[in-house]
Amino acid sequence: MQYPGHYAQGLALGLPETIAWRTLPRLAPYLAIYSLLPVVYCVSLWQCWRQRKDPSFLWEKLALLSMVGLFLLLEVAESVNWLRLYAVSIPGIVLLIWTLDRTPKIRSYAVTLLWVGVACLAARQTILSRPTYSLRVELPGGHAATTPQSYEKLHWIEQRTEPGEFFLEAAWPGMYIPCTCRIRCMWPLWIDSTLLARRISNWRFNS
């Protein structure tokens, strides 16, 4: 059986937006991870090979972490998107911090640059979020700030569900907390088809 691939907004890189000059500030965190991971793994493996005969250099542990991160990266590269890449980026981030810590000449500059970047991204996120999420509403989960488009969907679901009711959102788990719904998982995937059909028939679908 074949399954069609899907990329976010038709982009081969799986980014949330198309790459353009006006979208570069919003895509900067994604592009940083996309570009840093391959470089970090290659540099780490090169250091392991170059210093493999140095008894004070624990190249086995570094090589193990680098290989794990590299194979995780190759696993998601077949159908990459930013969410999958973020999920397997922890080894690369650890190796990046370790590499910077071993380079005193650039360590202080890197730390300063990192904090400046974090401060700029935080300020930008705060400034842009207030006008974007300008609608303040009261939902079963409490007070919420959202967009008019998102509230239309939230209000539609709120009218057709009850707090604590089972609900399935396939695209993104963003409706459970505001609407106080619960998720029902179908598992294991290898259950008998008759039993699965019986369970499906017992579910209540709100129209």
DSSP 12: T
- CA torsion sign for 29, 59, 78, 6 is negative
pLDDT of residue 189: 45
pLDDT of residue 67: 92
Q: Over 70: is that where the pLDDT of 2 sits?
A: no
pLDDT of residue 193: 52
* Per-residue confidence band for 170, with pLDDT thresholds at 50, 70 and 90: low
Q: Identify each DSSP E strand in the chain by its residue range.
A: 135-139, 142-146
Q: What is the pLDDT of residues 24-44, one digit of tens each?
A: 877 888 888 898 899 999 988
Of 154, 132, 156, residue with least CA distance to 141: 154
Element (H, E) at 183: none
Q: Over 50: is that where the pLDDT of 203 sits?
A: yes
pLDDT of residue 184: 63
Q: Report the DSSP beta bridge partners of residue 40.
A: none
Q: In the predicted model, what is the mean pLDDT of the chain?
A: 77
